[in-house]
Structures are given as C-alpha cells and as structure tokens.
Structure 1
C-alpha cells in the first residue's frame, strides 16, 4: 500500500534526475534476480517461486490480488475489505472457521502469522507454513487456492461478520479520523482515492446484500489479477507443479471487466488545510510537494534512487541536528522524498511544533532547511559520510545474502507484481552501488532540492487542538511564509571533529578463568577486574554481533530522585562521550556498524548494542567511553528537556480518551503511588543535569558487578584481546550492589471503575487478574498456556460468536525481580451498549476453564505454536542475547531452554484446571471501562 504520508525506505522511489553517467551502460533494463522462478499460467495467474532456507523448514506463501477499495462501486464501499474477512469464514475446503482451527494446530497463529490486509489498489493474504511435516505445504497452497476462488460467502456467515467489521470501523474512529476526513479530499485533489477508504461506510456494511459482495468477488478475484508467491525451504519443482495443478484449473473469465486505473490529478495549485479537534493533543505541520510517480525501469533509475537515498540521509541528519540545539525549533522535524499515493510520489516536510503558538517557528525551520539546500547545497564532507553509510549498509546486506528471511523476499515480489518495481537481487545491487557511488557528485544531490521543492502542487496541512485554534497560523500567514522562506538563510556549518574516541588507552586486564557450557555452545570468561563475560559464537548471521551488559541497582538507589533518575542516561548519552558531542559522534561513526548506548532503569543499569566483526573494536571503545568519559552538554540537554516539557504541556491541555483511560488504570495498578504518576511538566522541572551526572558516574563506576553477553559472528580466541583491553580495563571497586525494592503492587480485592471520556460511541475494557507468584519454569509454562488458551477462547466467544469485537488481547507477565508476581491482562474495544454482555461472557469463559480445564484441542494448539515459535527463535542472535542475559541476571538455570519440550508435556487438561483456579483469582480483579462522555 502506498502510504498517505511520507513513509519510504532508504532507497526511495526513482527520481528522474539526469546525472552525468559513468562509463557503465546504465540504459539497460534492471535485471531481475535469477534466483526467482517467475511464470504465468494460461488463465493469466502469475507466480513467483524462490528456494530460501532462512528460516529452515518454513515457507512464506502469499496471494496478491490487484483489487482493493478503489474498484468498489458506490454500493460496495467497504466490501473489498469485508471480502478479505470472509475468506477466513468459510471456503470450499475449510468451511466456517475451520481454516483458523486447522492452521492453529500446525503452529500458525491467527493474526500474528496468518493475516491479510486490504488497501486501495490491492488485497494481500499472508500465510507462513511449516514444510517439515508431510502434506502441510500442499495444504497451505490449498488455502491460497480457496482464497483465490473458493469463498463460500454463506449469508449466515456474512451476518455474523458484519459486527466484527463494524467494530473494526468503530476502533478507527477518533480525532485522527475526523481530521483526516476534513483534509483528505483537498490533498488528494478530490480524486477517487479520497472517496474509497478501505474501511468503507458503516451504512453500507450494515445493510449490503450478499449478492453485492458476491459481485465484487466475481468481478475482481480472478486469475489475471492474481499472483501466488512462495518463498521458503522446499523443492521449487514440487511447488511449481502444485501451483500449476491447483491454480491452473481456475477458469479465466470469458468477459472480464476492464480493471480501471485511477489517478490523482495535479493542477499546479497550493492548497492549505487547517483542521482542529477537541481530542487532538499535538500541533503538527505537513508540507507535501506532489510529483508524478517515477518508475524504476533502467539501471539509470536505480542510480537515481541511490541519489535520492543519499539526499534523504543528509537532509535527515540536518533535521536531527536542529533538535540537538539549545533551543530546538520543533519537537520533531523531517524532510524526505518517497512514494505518496496512487500514481504520485512526494517530497514531504513534517514538523511537530511545541505548541500552537510555535507553529510559525516550526514551519519556518523546516522550510528554511529545505531552502538552505536549494541555495547552498550539501558539502562534500556530508556527501562523503552519506556514501560511507550507504556503502556499509549495502555491504552488510550482501554479506547476509544467505541469511535473508523469506518474508523479505515476498515483499519484493509483491512490489513487482503490483507496481512493476524490479528486484535485481543484492549481488547485482551491491555491485552497482560499488561501481557508481564514487561517481555521484554533490551537484547531482543538490539538484534534488531544486527539482522537487517547488511552488507547484503543494499541500499544507496544519493539525492542532480545538482549544488552540485561535493561536494557530491562518491561511494567509502560511502562504506568506511559503513565499518568503529562505530569503535570509545562511550556509550550513558542518560541526565535525577528528580526534581519538578515547583520550587515554585502557590499561588492559586479563582473563583469569574460563568455564565451558558445551550444551549451550557458550563460554564464560572472568576478567581480572571481576567482570564476567558470556560468549556465544553463532552462525545465524554472517556479519552481526550483539552485546548487552546488565547490573543491579538503577535509580532505586537514589530515593526521592526519580525524575532525574529516569532521564539520567538519556541526558548523558545526548551529551556524547569524551571530546565528541552527540552530533560530532554520529559523524565520526559514519560508515561504521557501531551502535551502543547506556541505560539506567529503576532496578538496573547497563549497555546494549550491535556491531560486526570489522567494527567490534570501535564499538568496545564506545562502551569503554560510556563508562569512563561521559560528557555533560548543558545546552543540548536544556533543549531536550524544554521539548519534553512542551510535549507534556500539550498532553495536559488536550487530554485524549486513551490517555485518561491508561492513566486511570495505571493509578489503580500502582496503588496510587506517587512514584508511578504519569510525567508532567512539573516532573521535568525537577530534573537536574548535575545530579544526573553524579548518578550516572556512580552507577558506572564499578564494572565488576556487570555481566556482559556477546552473541554472534566471532571466534572467542580472536576477540579475547579486545575484551581484555576494553572490558578488562573498565574501573572496578568490587562493591556488592543490588536494588532497593519499590514495594509497589496492584491492590488486592475487586475494583471496578468507569471513566467517561470521548466523543465517539466506542468503549474500551481492561480486566486485570494478579497476585503473588512462585517464579519457576514449571509455573511459567502453565501461565503461558493459560494465556494462549484463554486468548483462543475469547476470540471464538467475543469475535466469532458474539460478533462484538474486532480483536481481543490476553497478555501475561511473571516477575522474579524485585519479587514474585504475576499478572493477566485482558483487553478489547466494543460498542458501549455491549460492555456488560461481553465482560460477562469473558468471565464465563474464565469460569469454564476453572471448572473443566482447557480444551484438549486448545492445549494442542498452544503446544504446536510454542514449539514452532521456539524452532525459529533459537536460531536467532536476539533470542540468545536476551535469554542468556535474563537467566544470568535472575540466577536461573542456563540450560533451562533444553527442558522446554518436557515442560510442554506437563500441560494437561487437569494442570490447566489447577493453574486456572490458582491464577484466575477473581477475588483480585480490576475492571476498568472507558465509556463515551455522557450527553
């Protein structure tokens, strides 16, 4: 789907720039990746097949249809999306809800894995499927075949689904929707796109006849508008044969309707929309310079895209620098070129102002930054840094070519089918980048601004709170600012520094002991300064190393100083390290894969980061600097805190229904403890930078109680010298630290509260069950099982049977630190008149599990989902980083992960009955309901 506003990837949409070409022939068409098998059946259906073993024993299947809401007739508005729903409610081989039931048994989760979406121009169905069980892949393709032409569209199922879709529509209502409805026609030039939002119209959703949706299905779900995409760990020949057998028999329509193409007309004008709403808490400005879409067809177009990527990177850096000033002109600002909507691209500038009175400053700031580039261009140094970053990113992608997830490939092939966007493969792309990036001149980059920032086809949108309407800019003022922007702008001054990252070399320590964990493939080092380092080399990624360091303490050791404690690490990181301020540090690290930063939470402090083998030493230098050379920058911190204060003031001026609800629930859950109150402007006033520096230095003065964990592409013997130097050289006082228990728990007993806030006829319900807990692997798995079986039951009950919700969420959390505690949270949105009925049904479903235990089939689904999820997780660096860090920190058995299968076997109908009666304790139940304001 093309996004309404400014979202695009680094390599943007093709630009149509005419650069001075290198000797390489760039007039050739973009070659398609030869690793993909593309074919077309006689009935017109297209297919894409690629063998890919990441992850192993899995396939990603997609059905893409060039049919969305843009094709709806007046009496079909919303039915393209409704049709998507109906494909999960009865097809030829999977009647009623049997599709979801079948897939859950294979370990595929509804919503999280099995999903679909409908946009203006397309509908996409997504199905990940295991390939290591006989017949499952074939069954997955059968699902796609049913979606393509086997929807039953049973009138009784349509009636049941009306409520679900209407609830989805209800949940989308609010300030954003009301404001969008005011300006959408204006910025889309009264095109059909403004009249065909995928959710449709409630009046039609409530009353349409089954024949009307059947007509849409017959007209547009046809093979010449479809593509089947299969990427995964399988034999491509087998998959191709199955696609031909299943989809080749779908008859082509004898007299197909012509699939019209709708456009957004450009008339050269500048239109301005100023919209306000009583429930909108921010002050947002968007300036959209619309352009005809530029298709990527030749290698020259790919080179042009590289230019766009470099431009976006450099203007992004400049906008970020503005937020690091002593008095930032906005809370957030950005400019970039990318896809927009329909047949348009756009250069979009966005600014989030501090308040309505600051909108002029914010608007001028983004316009002047654009004008600065138009008038003076970028510097050679800026371009050099951006080139290094792009080359580094391309090289990393190339190195990981055999580790690319199958889901990433499906997105490329969908783009090719829907929008003719070519995919050349990372090998060819990296080769093109290497051959062309050096030849790109700064004059070519500067041409982007003059080409796309014009006084034609502009839309300016100001969005703000109703209360601040009088303080907002008027249309005449906006047009005057547009006309005069950039008149007095001066050239950009590049703030760079070229000094060693560390002022003094660390005094290296030594490895004093090693402990092997053969089953885990892990080694524990103890360094001479007392620091323990957990090392797990892996081959999950070719060019990735993840690191984490954790210690106990946090700002709990500074009672009464929570405001400063909460912001302490943020303020110190914002100052940079050693001789480098934050802006200079970012520029110094250009072209390197170096990411590391400190944190201080209530109970812990630590550092997290990622790098690769080439840049590991620089990353360790940065880690060492965060411990030993924190840098205080009063001007930057002053600006950051001023922005934070302004943001909170806006929140107080216009309190949204969701914020009232969440704040009220938080107050109850924390027993109205003052240390858990939401942040306010007065909180920011209590933040003290000097005190933050003291706290920070105290928490990072002693590394001996830190546990460092490294996971990824390294060899232990090769990185030992670096660890001895930079980790072994950290300061150590050998203190024995721990945290101070905050002693904040949810209250016991039954508590019910209803909050009346909001203009729309929609409600929100939250039910919380909590209590003390004996933290253990055995209990944890029972809690996990309860969460999943209750989730399954509530989807069946509240969505499928009652048709009263679009979605329902059940989450669980268990804590060992600071003390044993568990919590179940159940949440859903619904119509106000249905709250009592749906809450009662929820309590009834909980009661059934307490009385009878979970259904055996639901336990089987949980076990299958858990096993499938773990199969993927244990082959990722992120899983092992978090697992090892958590288990060491909590003092749990490091080999607990290998007991997972045994633990899952302990889940039975009887065990869930016992667990439900223990943990679904309705004597400790918090019920919070959000209702619209009484009229």
Structure 2
C-alpha cells in the first residue's frame, strides 16, 4: 500500500510539471514540439529514473534541454501551487475513475500487459477495484509539502545521463559535452521566478437560453437508433449501448470538405486547416482550454477533410455536458490568432524537416508525387518551407467559419451509454441552438486522377541495405457491392499466399501483405496493392515471386482453404467490432457520406459467408490483369560494398570471439 501511494505522489508531481511543459508547448513561442517528464522504468529493467524528453528542430537541442532543466529546477526551488495540485488530483482521479467504470469491459491486451509487468518487473497487481478505492481514499490527503518534497528527491545532481540525437548536417552544430555541462551549471545559477498561475476559465460558453426544439423523431428498430430532426435543420442520430460502461463517442458530418474549394485556394489552405483549433475558442487559448478540461474525459476535434467537414470526439456520461459545450464553441467561437498558427508551423517543421531523410518516408513521398503528377492540387504529402510560405491562414479560417456557420447541413452521431433525458437537454441547449442558413451542400469530384498504366519505378535513398517494394493496380470502375467485398477478400487471401511464399519458403521478407478495395467517394474506383520490405539483393527476385503468386490467383483463383481462413477471421473480427462504439459511429457516418446500405453492418457476416472462390477469381481476372505499377526503394549506389565491409567486420568479431 505504501509503495502504491508513493507512486501516486510521484504521479501527481510529474503531472503538474507536465502541465507546465504543456503550457509552453501550447504557447505562441513553443520551445519544442512536445516534451514531458516522468519517473519510472528505463531501458535497464532493474533501474528507475526521473526522465525528461523533448522533440525539437535541428540545432535547438541545447535550448530544449535548458527549458526542461529550468522547469524542473523551478519546481524544485519553489514547489507547486495549490491550484496545480487540485488540478492534477482531478486528472489522476478522472483517469482511474474511467478505467474503473469500464472494468467489466477491459480489453484482454491491457490485462495481459499487466500480467507481463507483474512477472518481469514484479509490479504489484492488486486489481482496478482496489486501486480505485485506494486512490479515492488516499488522493485527497496528499499535500503540497509531499509533492514538493518528492520532486527534490527525484531530481539529483549525480547519475545523470544526457542523450542528444540529430541528423548530420554541415550547417547544424551538435552540442558538445562541455556545452551540455555548462547548461546544467547555468540553470543551477539562473535567476528563476516562481511559476505564475493563470486565470482559470469559469464559463467556456456564456450562459444562454436555447430556443431550439425537436421537430421530428424517427426510430430504427433494426439499428437500435433514434434520429431527431431539430428546428435548425440539424439531425442527431444516437444509439444507446452497453459495450462500455462509461463511454460516449460522437461525430458530426457535413458534406463538402475541401473538394468544393477551388484549386488555387485549396493549395493555399490545405496545410492550415489542421492548425485552426490551435488558436482556442471564445477568447481562450489552447493552454487555457487544457487547464479547463483537466480532470474531465473530454476530447473534441474539429476538422475539414476531402469530402466532409465535421467534429469527432469521445467523452463519458458525466462529462458529456462539457463535451457538448466545447463542440458548440468550435462551431460558434473559434479564435483567429496568427501567432498560434505560426507556433503550429514551428512545431510541425521540427517534426517534418528530417522526415525526407528517412528512406521509407522519402519513398512514400516521391512515389506519391509520381502517382499524382497530373493533379495540380497535389503539392506533396507534407508541407515544405515553400508550401508554408504560400499558406493563407486567414483564408483557411474564413472557409472554416463559413462551413461551420450552417449547422442545418450537419448530421450528428452519438453512440455509447447515453442517458436519454440528460442527452436530450444537452442536444437542445448546444446543437438545436446552433446557427443555420438553410442551405444544403455536398462534395464534388474534382476530376483529377492518379496516373494509370504499366510502370516500374526505382527510388534510391539511404545507405542501409534495406528495400521496400509496392505492386499496385488502380483505376475507375462502376461500384459493385459484391465485387468490392470480393476484392477486399482477395487482398487478405493474397496476403496469406505472399507470406507463405516470400517469407516461409524463400525466407526473403520479414513482413508485408496485400490489400484490396473498391470505393464510391468521390468517384467509383478500385485499388489493389502488395507491399513488403526486403534486402536490396532480393528485391527483383521477390518482386517476380509476388507477381507469380498473383498470376496464380488470376489463372486458377484462390484455394478454398485460404478463403475459409479469411472468412473465419472476418467472423471473429465482426463479433468484436459489433460491440465497439467507434465501429458503429464509422458505419453510421459511412451511410451519410457514400449512400451505402445503412443495414450493411447487420448483414456483413451473411455477405462474407456467400463469397465463393469464383467471386475472388473473377475480380482477380478483371482487375489484376492491367495497369500494374511496381515501385521499389533501393539504397543509394555503393550499398553492395558497404554490406560486404559490414559482413567482413562481423566475421572478424565472430572469429575473435571463438578464439577467446
């Protein structure tokens, strides 16, 4: 008990320090993309340590270390505030309360992980019921003196390890050991001030009286859903479940998305849309919101996608009101803050600047450029400095405001352990009151397509002897529900054959698989691909073997045993999926977006059962006999020599070991 309670005190101290770091990350001048501290296990299983980590832009590693040390030193010298402690207690209690409330629906992998830690690390395993009761009893008794004392004990001047990583670049100087030690000494002597508590949000949304009403109610007994059409035109569909004892997931969708934006404006705004929520709402910053939501299980994310705009999120029954309040604020009160956008760019650049030096990412990026060479809207899968310079934050903000000013074009979905009476009040207050223009919109097909035909492309990047192969088939075709399922099944069956041949028989790969599908939106199309990593010396041979396996499927169709194996897996997955709130949300929104059969989720097993070997054979002959594109990642020239030298060195080590 004492050990567990001590871990709670340490958790509170780490939570408070991480909340401070979070405020810095969410500020308009972030020192790093993200950073955190914790006390716990290390790479050495028998050792624990107080650890801090930050991700930064090239050349800023020393400054990030300085910020981590300064905030830790500030807490060590001056301690925390009572408001911070109260907030941290609420966070810890909220997290364990949610786990406790869902204790009878805990996923098996979470339990298994706990058993493994108990066996390998002797971590106590009293069970969630005991942990919840002990936390509820012990947490209120924890004082500031305890948390302030624990941070002093955890942060020491000896046994320190500093690891600094970064790419080798001529224009970037890596910190030296002397520079790191000077940073430590500088922080010890620094004139730091105590942490200043920010004013807390009292009302995220000013109290108001909603005039909204429910104009129409429709029940669907098959799906177990109820749909309300509200006085402002918005629709709300909800399904009460007991899949989790304390979970409500939700989504709102309106058709249109970026597809209705003209090419020039799309290029200027596409990378700004994800940044918009960084500005906060109703005059409150993102850091203010984070503090306001501390101790609440609320996650709300607005977005503008290719064919829809909307909101998605997750909450609990107790915190549903706060989630609805925040969703209302994203519809009506998104802040405009260029400084927040610039801070977002800084953080994103720190993450993305070196991605193209990663061979696998470079491969994906360059091949995407090749495939989309006829699409003027495609400028890359991540923004470069050029794209950021061309990005128009104000235009993106205006587009968002226009789209979210018309709630009548949205349909809202809620699935979970909903109390209908409480839920109805929240809907009338925060959704029925949203502004609406009465206009309807839908998405459009821009007309741009990826290239099709027979191509073979080789991309060279990196020094390590690692390769990646992608074999793909894409094109337009009228949507056919039976063919769509057969193509998906063919992907799973092809995965079985590719794994058998390339990994089991030829020992050439250590992963990989195939995937097939057919899609309605924004235009009817199909795709099928095989992907696998391998050694560069085997890339050509294994590509031919994979194509040969596909040819067998084209010539003879799959074996019955492989189709049966696929079906068995689908039956098991479907049983699990049907008890998952998020799975139901996705199924309900899919019907709105692509007009598919809304009862598809109920009939899936029957459709899988009806699949035959002939169905898969037919789609293999129809879709895998034309337009094959083979893309291969290879190391840069000279990799063969480097591999031979590595092999010689390895042999020398083995001989030396044997002699010894």
| Alignment partner, residue 493 of structure 2 | 789
CA distance in 1, matches of 2:79, 2:502: 58
CA distance in 2, matches of 1:603, 1:624: 22
| Counterpart selection for 1:554 from 239, 246, 257 | 257
| Counterpart selection for 2:483 from 775, 779, 782 | 779
| Counterpart selection for 1:491 from 188, 194, 206 | 194
| Counterpart selection for 1:862 from 557, 566, 577 | 566
- Greater displacement, 433-442 / 566-575: 566-575
Residues 333, 349 of structure 1: 8 Å contact kept: yes
| Alignment partner, residue 96 of structure 1 | none
Write the mapping of 1:90-169 to structure 2, written as runs, cut at 5 A: none
Alpha carbons of structure 1 residues 546 and 649: separation in structure 2 relative to 1, 3 Å = closer
Unaligned runs of 5+ in 2: 639-660
CA distance in 1, matches of 2:459, 2:542: 17
- Secondary structure of the 1:519 match is coil
Verify: 1:354 aligned to 2:83, yes or no.
no
Verify: 1:621 aligned to 2:325, yes or no.
yes
| Alignment partner, residue 385 of structure 1 | 87
Write the mapping of 1:175-574 to structure 2, written as runs, cut at 5 A: 299-340=1-42, 341-356=44-59, 358-468=60-170, 471-486=173-188, 487-505=190-208, 507-559=210-262, 560-574=264-278
Unaligned runs of 5+ in 1: 1-298
Residues 464, 635 of structure 2: 8 Å contact kept: yes
CA distance in 2, matches of 1:336, 1:852: 57
Residues 761, 832 of structure 1: 8 Å contact kept: yes
CA distance in 2, matches of 1:868, 1:300: 43
- Secondary structure of the 2:164 match is strand
TM-score by length of 2: 0.93
| Alignment partner, residue 657 of structure 2 | none
Alignment deviations for residues 118-165 of structure 1 (CA, whole Å, 9 cap, x no partner): xxxxxxxxxxxxxxxxxxxxxxxxxxxxxxxxxxxxxxxxxxxxxxxx
Alpha carbons of structure 1 residues 330 and 907: separation in structure 2 relative to 1, 3 Å = same
Verify: 1:696 aligned to 2:393, yes or no.
no
CA distance in 2, matches of 1:905, 1:656: 43
Q: Which has the larger helix fraction?
A: 2
Alpha carbons of structure 1 residues 445 and 564: separation in structure 2 relative to 1, 3 Å = farther
CA distance in 1, matches of 2:395, 2:371: 30
- Greater displacement, 403-412 / 625-634: 403-412
C-alpha deviation, 1:865, in angstroms: 0.5
C-alpha deviation, 1:568, in angstroms: 4.1
C-alpha deviation, 1:460, in angstroms: 1.2
| Counterpart selection for 2:464 from 760, 763, 773 | 760
CA distance in 2, matches of 1:600, 1:713: 28
CA distance in 2, matches of 1:434, 1:504: 32
| Alignment partner, residue 451 of structure 2 | 747
Residues 671, 745 of structure 1: 8 Å contact kept: no
- Secondary structure of the 1:613 match is coil
Number of corresponding residues: 633
TM-score by length of 1: 0.66
| Alignment partner, residue 934 of structure 1 | 637
Verify: 1:807 aligned to 2:511, yes or no.
yes
Residues 506, 726 of structure 1: 8 Å contact kept: no
C-alpha deviation, 1:715, in angstroms: 3.6
Alpha carbons of structure 1 residues 782 and 650: separation in structure 2 relative to 1, 3 Å = closer
C-alpha deviation, 1:645, in angstroms: 3.6
| Counterpart selection for 1:576 from 280, 291, 299 | 280
Alignment deviations for residues 803-822 of structure 1 (CA, whole Å, 9 cap, x no partner): 11111221234321100112
Residues 45, 121 of structure 2: 8 Å contact kept: no
Verify: 1:716 aligned to 2:405, yes or no.
no
Residues 226, 237 of structure 2: 8 Å contact kept: yes
Verify: 1:670 aligned to 2:368, yes or no.
no
- Greater displacement, 779-788 / 739-748: 739-748
Residues 483, 615 of structure 2: 8 Å contact kept: no
| Alignment partner, residue 592 of structure 1 | 296
C-alpha deviation, 1:506, in angstroms: 5.3
Residues 754, 929 of structure 1: 8 Å contact kept: yes
| Counterpart selection for 2:346 from 642, 645, 656 | 642
| Alignment partner, residue 645 of structure 2 | none
Alignment deviations for residues 277-313 of structure 1 (CA, whole Å, 9 cap, x no partner): xxxxxxxxxxxxxxxxxxxxxx011001111211222
Alpha carbons of structure 1 residues 623 and 790: separation in structure 2 relative to 1, 3 Å = same
| Alignment partner, residue 733 of structure 1 | 437
CA distance in 2, matches of 1:746, 1:570: 24
Alignment deviations for residues 58-83 of structure 1 (CA, whole Å, 9 cap, x no partner): xxxxxxxxxxxxxxxxxxxxxxxxxx
C-alpha deviation, 1:677, in angstroms: 2.4
Residues 645, 684 of structure 1: 8 Å contact kept: no
- Secondary structure of the 1:607 match is strand
| Alignment partner, residue 135 of structure 1 | none
Residues 762, 830 of structure 1: 8 Å contact kept: yes
- Secondary structure of the 2:165 match is strand
